[in-house]
């Protein structure tokens, strides 16, 4: 298929004039039947690639995606783009619903599926019966970042791929270091000779990078308040805990008079929908969120992303700040850091990876007090693979070490006095020669929103108030 | 999060089983769980939290014990009483949190209310968008069955003046509510360029949590449900949607058949043979029906004959919850336990509680 044909389809079917950077190369590689790993920034148009493959070729596009909440968003987005035959297959479905879908797979064009569901025998059997256009693994970096800690079924993806007669692969991620890319590709060893790897530079020149070290927690809190009052929104503030995201939303709303709303994966689907849509629509000034927020959100005009806590590693950090400035206009990413903040992350690693003692206790003495259900599942999985207790312990210790190392890069970044951009680009194996030099700063006084023309303009004019129901009905149903 | 609500499910005078309360909330039912649900007067809450996690639930109970709010009766009995402190906590909770008003009067299983609520949300969005002739929007992600149900419904509505029918029906219901509640409820709905309000935007009491919000919304839909079920002849768009969502009934068809056959004089043995059911299953059908049906709808007198009642009365005294089957047992015939349990249900329905 020639270049012109691809563009024609793009214009005719999707109404876009031009491809975003990288899309065309990736599509060409896919049409040439190459398995493809694409490292594209958030907002780089990943959805369009598999949507387009759905338009160009017959068969089912299978999209493996890690988060349930994200899956809902993706289905909604394809619906929004006019695709009707889209379904999400996951543990939220009843047995009957699942049966229905599996018996009618050929009716669908796109199927989103979690690794856990995909690894179930009936699902694999059903998928073997239909023609698979493309197998997409979204957020493919999770195969090597947290796949092994929490989700044993991620380990099985290469095997499942083989069981499904090796359909063509498209692995998508916004963030992968050269090592991660090697690791991901190597896990699909059989097809490894024929890979096309596309990597777009990770640097986003329109996102100004700014780090601040504060003396203590209460100064950090006050500083956050000032930033929110002075920097142009809309913005997102990331926290590690749901609880803090929720209580800070309330505090910041009260203190600043702005409309600050919390978002996290513990909320029910409709509440999350409301928050997302209010944010999309510009009714919310600032979202206080956990990392669950943003993966499925296409808001172009986010002007700032503030991190109140560290991300787990630079890959996640990059992913999260990448939600700013998708419209290409000036935006800022601010990292607030107090010495010791990393303890939260270290604790999370300790909690998610069982200790040597806990592993021995479970595997050799059948003790269950020190391990969670997910960990048990993982331990059993390794046992099934015939590993000894000692080698399982080694696996986990290495894993813990690896995550601690990755976290260390994040800490180094937070403590850095200079060279923020260089650090990130280097970390992801990018060339650093042509990076802009004057688009970063460190220190509370080193940066003012004025310098980027990001001074908060309006005072919030949309504090919500419940109106008369009869008025609401008029607006809901276009009655005059 | 569910904390505050959970404590209200315990009592200071009746020891309650942790396992039963979990089973009720999650809708993991056995005849025994339902019987105790009846005794605790908690059947209203069957299926209230279908996604409740057992580990989390157990942790909460342990916390309550550690905080001195609950006390276990004996060791490892799994039965708990509210302490004085626990009772005070319960009362404080009731003052600060939403109190269910309508669900308790439900004539339909809670799952129907929930299905109606979900279907309404999506249908309301579809109708709202259609009133602006907009086809490009993010549909609410409801469960698949509901999504298909709304699709089917909307296809049927083709050519009808759906917007005006819809608005009329909604208006009728909102007029039944206190005006402020009606304003708040309408403000939660999603529509064309209207994302809907969440808890903190509605001006509801500030002490409310997400759970209160959930119960408040669900309770109002339970009320709507009752309102619609009283005007069955309503063939407006909303009435039709509502009918489509009423898929569950309190009694499964099989249980209903058993009750019918028994009422017509067929014996348990014959039913068992005719329908290839175990006799134990037939007895379970009958106990389930007795628990779920109003007293007058179950033929108690076919089983609780004067002889049976006199015998049981003479052997059982005091608090029903403390009765032991061993005290009345005379043989290995499982029918004896059936009669014992049925008698307990009968007395509970007659209003005898601790």
Distance from CA of A163 to the nearest CA of B (A): 28
Q: How far apart are CA B169 and CA A234, in angstroms?
A: 38
Question: Which among A72, A281, A464 has CB closest to B141?
Answer: A72
Nearest one of A54, A26, A22, A57 to A41, comparing CA atoms = A22
Express each pLDDT in B276-319 by its tens digit: 999 999 999 999 999 999 999 999 999 999 999 999 999 998 89
Of A83-92, A143-152, A176-185, which gets the smallest average pLDDT? Answer: A143-152
pLDDT of residue A1: 47
Per the CB < 8 Å rule, is A273 touching B185? no
Assess whether pLDDT exceeds 60 at residue A381. yes
Asked whether residue A344 is domain-assigned, the answer is: no
A108 and A189 assigned to the same domain: yes
Query: Chain B: residue nearest A69 by CA?
Result: B141
Q: How far from the centroid of its chain's Cα atoms is residue A457's Cα?
A: 30
pLDDT of residue A192: 54
Assess whether pLDDT exceeds 90 at residue A90. no
A330 and A438 assigned to the same domain: yes
Q: How far apart are CA A178 and CA A315, in angstroms?
A: 12
Residue B336 and residue B328 in contact, taking contact as beta carbons nearer than 8 Å = yes
A residues 338-367 near B, CB within 8 Å? none
Express each pLDDT in A128-175 by its tens digit: 999 999 999 988 877 776 544 556 677 788 889 999 999 999 999 877
Express each pLDDT in B52-101 by its tens digit: 888 889 989 999 999 999 999 988 888 999 999 999 999 998 889 998 89
A382 and A469 assigned to the same domain: no
Query: Chain A: residue nearest B213 by CA?
Result: A271
Per the CB < 8 Å rule, is A76 touching B141? yes
The pLDDT-based confidence of B200 (bands split at 50, 70, 90) is confident
pLDDT of residue A93: 81
The pLDDT-based confidence of A414 (bands split at 50, 70, 90) is very high
Q: How many domains does chain A have?
A: 3
Assess whether pLDDT exceeds 60 at residue A296. no
Q: Rounded mean pLDDT of A12-41?
A: 88
The percentage of residues in chain A with a pLDDT greater than 70, rounded to a whole number, is 92
A110 and A190 assigned to the same domain: yes
Average pLDDT, chain B: 91
A299 and A448 assigned to the same domain: yes
Asked whether residue A279 is domain-assigned, the answer is: yes
Per the CB < 8 Å rule, is B195 touching A278? yes
Interface check for B218 against chain A (CB to CB < 8 A): the answer is no
Residues of B in contact with A261 (CB under 8 A): 198, 200
- Domain span(s) for CATH 1.10.10 in chain B: 2-96
The pLDDT-based confidence of B1 (bands split at 50, 70, 90) is very low
Q: Rounded mean pLDDT of B110-138?
A: 93
Assess whether pLDDT exceeds 90 at residue B104. no
pLDDT of residue B306: 94
**Residue with the two structure tokens 């787990």:** A312
Asked whether residue A480 is domain-assigned, the answer is: no
A311 and A396 assigned to the same domain: no
The percentage of residues in chain B with a pLDDT greater than 70, rounded to a whole number, is 98
Interface check for B5 against chain A (CB to CB < 8 A): the answer is no
Domain termination site, one of A382, A404, A426: A404
- Identify the CATH number of the domain in which residue A289 sits: 3.40.50.300
pLDDT of residue A264: 87
Of A283-297, A428-442, B74-88, B102-116, which gets the smallest average pLDDT? Answer: A283-297
Q: Rounded mean pLDDT of B146-167?
A: 90
Of A216-230, A365-379, A397-411, B116-130, which gets the smallest average pLDDT? Answer: A365-379
Residue A263 and residue A272 in contact, taking contact as beta carbons nearer than 8 Å = yes
Express each pLDDT in A49-59 by its tens digit: 999 999 899 99
Query: Chain A: residue nearest B143 by CA?
Result: A93
Asked whether residue A157 is domain-assigned, the answer is: yes
**Residue with the two structure tokens 């210790």:** A397
Per the CB < 8 Å rule, is A476 touching B195? no
The pLDDT-based confidence of A190 (bands split at 50, 70, 90) is low
pLDDT of residue A368: 66
A116 and A47 assigned to the same domain: yes
Asked whether residue A316 is domain-assigned, the answer is: yes
Q: Rounded mean pLDDT of A331-352?
A: 91
Q: How far apart are CA A399 and CA A393, in angstroms?
A: 10
A72 and A105 assigned to the same domain: yes
pTM of the model: 0.83
A167 and A283 assigned to the same domain: no
pLDDT of residue A464: 67
| Signed CA dihedral, A20, A21, A23, A28: sign only | positive
Distance from CA of A358 to the nearest CA of B (A): 19
A46 and A156 assigned to the same domain: yes
Express each pLDDT in A251-278 by its tens digit: 999 999 899 999 987 888 888 889 989 9
In this structure, the dihedral spanned by the alpha carbons of residues A293, A297, A299 and A304, taken in order and rounded to 10 degrees, is: 20
Q: How far apart are CA B121 and CA B188, in angstroms?
A: 9
B residues 147-176 near A, CB within 8 Å? 163, 166-167, 170-171, 174
Per the CB < 8 Å rule, is A80 touching B136? yes
Question: Which among A76, A100, A373 has CB closest to B138?
Answer: A76
Q: Which strands form A195-199's sheet, in the order they lie side by side?
A: A86-89, A110-113, A60-64, A132-137, A169-173, A35-39, A195-199
A291 and A190 assigned to the same domain: no
- The boundaries of the domain holding residue A33 are 3-199
Q: How far apart are CA A48 and CA A54, in angstroms?
A: 10
Average pLDDT, chain A: 87
CATH number of this structure's domain B2-96 = 1.10.10
The pLDDT-based confidence of B135 (bands split at 50, 70, 90) is confident
SS (H, E, C) chain A: CCHHHHHHHHHHHHCCCCCCCCHHHHHHHHHCCCEEEEECCCCCCHHHHHHHHHHHCCCEEEEECCCHHHHHHHHHHHHHCCCCCEEEECCCCCHHHHHHHHHCHHHCCEEEECHHHHCCHHHHHHHHCCCEEEEEECCHHHHCCCHHHHCHHHHCHHHHHHHCCCCCEEEEECCCCHHHHHHHHHHCHHHHHHEEEEECCCCCCCEEEEEEEECCHHHHHHHHHHHHHHECCCEEEECCCHHHHHHHHHHHHHHHCCCEEEECCCCCHHHHHHHHHHHHCCCCCEEEECCCCCCCCCCCCCCEEEECCCCCCHHHHHHHHCCCCCCCCCEEEEEEEECCCHHHHHHHHHHHCCCHHHHHHHHHHCCCCCCCHHHHHHHHHHHHCCCCHHHHHHHHHHHHHHHHHHHHHHHHHHHCCCCHHHHHHHHCCCCCCCCCCCCEEECCCCCCHHHHCCECCCCCCCCCCCCCHHHHHHHHCCCC
pLDDT of residue A369: 67
Asked whether residue A411 is domain-assigned, the answer is: no
A228 and A354 assigned to the same domain: no
The pLDDT-based confidence of A478 (bands split at 50, 70, 90) is very high
Q: What is the ipTM of this complex?
A: 0.86
């Amino acid at each position: 298929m020639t270049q012109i044909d691809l563009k024609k389809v793009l214009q005719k079917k999707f109404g876009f004039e031009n491809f975003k950077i990288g899309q065309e190369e990736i599509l060409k590689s896919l049409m040439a039947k190459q398995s493809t790993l694409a490292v594209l920034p958030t907002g780089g148009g990943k959805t369009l690639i598999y949507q387009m493959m759905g338009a160009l070729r017959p068969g089912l596009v299978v999209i493996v995606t890690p988060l349930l909440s994200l899956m809902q968003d993706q289905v909604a987005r394809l619906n929004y783009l006019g695709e009707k035959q889209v379904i999400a297959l996951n543990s939220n479905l009843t047995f009957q619903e699942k049966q229905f879908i599996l018996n009618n797979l050929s009716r669908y064009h796109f199927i989103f599926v979690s690794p856990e569901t995909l690894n179930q025998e009936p699902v694999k059997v059903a998928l073997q019966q239909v023609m698979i256009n493309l197998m997409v693994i979204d957020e493919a970096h999770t195969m090597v970042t947290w796949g092994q800690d929490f989700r044993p079924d991620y380990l099985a993806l290469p095997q499942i791929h083989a069981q499904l007669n090796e359909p063509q692969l498209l692995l998508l991620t916004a963030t992968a270091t050269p090592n991660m890319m090697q690791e991901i590709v190597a896990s699909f060893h059989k097809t490894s000779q024929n890979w096309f790897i596309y990597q777009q530079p990770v640097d986003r020149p329109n996102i100004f990078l700014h780090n601040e070290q504060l003396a203590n927690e209460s100064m950090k809190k006050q500083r956050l308040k000032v930033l929110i009052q002075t920097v142009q929104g809309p913005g997102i503030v990331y926290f590690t805990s749901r609880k803090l995201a929720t209580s800070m939303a309330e505090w910041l709303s009260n203190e600043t008079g702005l409309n600050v709303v919390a978002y996290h994966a513990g909320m029910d689907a409709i509440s999350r929908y409301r928050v997302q849509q209010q944010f999309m629509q510009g009714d919310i000034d600032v979202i206080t969120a956990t990392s669950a927020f943003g993966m499925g959100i296409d808001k172009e005009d986010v002007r700032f992303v503030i991190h109140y806590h560290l991300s787990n590693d630079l890959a996640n950090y990059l992913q999260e700040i990448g939600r700013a400035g998708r419209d290409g206009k000036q935006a800022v990413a601010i990292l607030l850091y107090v010495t010791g903040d990393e303890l939260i992350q270290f604790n999370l690693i300790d909690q998610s990876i069982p200790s040597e003692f806990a592993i021995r206790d479970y595997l050799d003495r059948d003790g269950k007090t020190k391990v969670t259900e997910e960990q048990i599942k993982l331990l059993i999985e390794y046992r099934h693979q015939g590993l000894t207790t000692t080698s399982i312990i080694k696996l986990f210790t290495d894993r813990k070490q690896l995550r601690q190392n990755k976290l260390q890069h994040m800490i180094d970044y937070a403590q850095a006095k200079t060279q923020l951009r260089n650090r990130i680009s280097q970390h992801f194996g990018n060339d650093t020669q042509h990076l802009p030099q004057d688009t970063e700063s460190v220190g509370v006084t080193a940066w003012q929103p004025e310098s980027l023309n990001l001074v908060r303009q309006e005072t919030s004019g949309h504090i919500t108030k419940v109106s008369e129901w009869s008025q609401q009905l008029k607006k809901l149903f276009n009655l005059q | 999060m569910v904390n505050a609500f959970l404590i209200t499910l315990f009592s200071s005078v009746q020891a309650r089983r942790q396992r039963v309360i979990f089973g009720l909330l999650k809708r993991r039912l056995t005849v025994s769980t339902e019987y105790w649900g009846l005794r605790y007067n908690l059947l209203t809450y069957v299926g209230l939290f279908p996604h409740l996690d057992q580990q989390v639930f157990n942790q909460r109970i342990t916390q309550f014990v550690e905080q001195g709010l609950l006390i276990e009766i004996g060791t490892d009995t799994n039965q708990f009483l509210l302490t004085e402190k626990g009772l005070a906590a319960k009362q404080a909770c009731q003052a600060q949190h939403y109190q269910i008003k309508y669900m308790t009067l439900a004539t339909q299983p809670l799952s129907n209310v929930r299905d109606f609520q979900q279907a309404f949300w999506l249908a309301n969005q579809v109708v709202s968008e259609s009133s602006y002739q907009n086809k490009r929007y993010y549909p609410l992600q409801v469960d698949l069955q509901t999504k298909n149900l709304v699709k089917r419904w909307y296809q049927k509505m083709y050519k009808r003046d759906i917007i005006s029918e819809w608005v009329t029906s909604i208006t009728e219901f909102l007029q039944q509510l206190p005006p402020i509640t009606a304003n708040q409820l309408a403000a939660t709905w999603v529509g064309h360029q209207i994302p809907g309000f969440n808890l903190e935007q509605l001006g509801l009491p500030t002490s409310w949590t997400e759970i209160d919000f959930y119960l408040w919304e669900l309770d109002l839909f339970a009320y709507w449900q009752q309102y619609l079920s009283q005007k069955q002849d309503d063939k407006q768009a909303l009435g039709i949607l509502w009918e489509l969502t009423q898929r569950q009934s309190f009694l499964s068809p099989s249980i209903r058949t058993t009750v019918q056959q028994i009422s017509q004089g067929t014996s348990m043995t014959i039913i068992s043979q005719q329908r290839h059911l175990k006799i134990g299953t037939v007895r379970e059908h009958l106990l389930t029906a007795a628990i779920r049906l109003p007293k007058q709808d179950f033929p108690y007198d076919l089983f609780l004959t004067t002889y049976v009642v006199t015998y049981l009365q003479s052997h059982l005294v005091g608090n029903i919850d403390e009765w032991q089957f061993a005290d009345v047992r005379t043989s290995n015939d499982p029918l004896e336990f059936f009669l014992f349990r049925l008698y307990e249900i009968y007395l509970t329905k007659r209003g005898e509680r601790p």
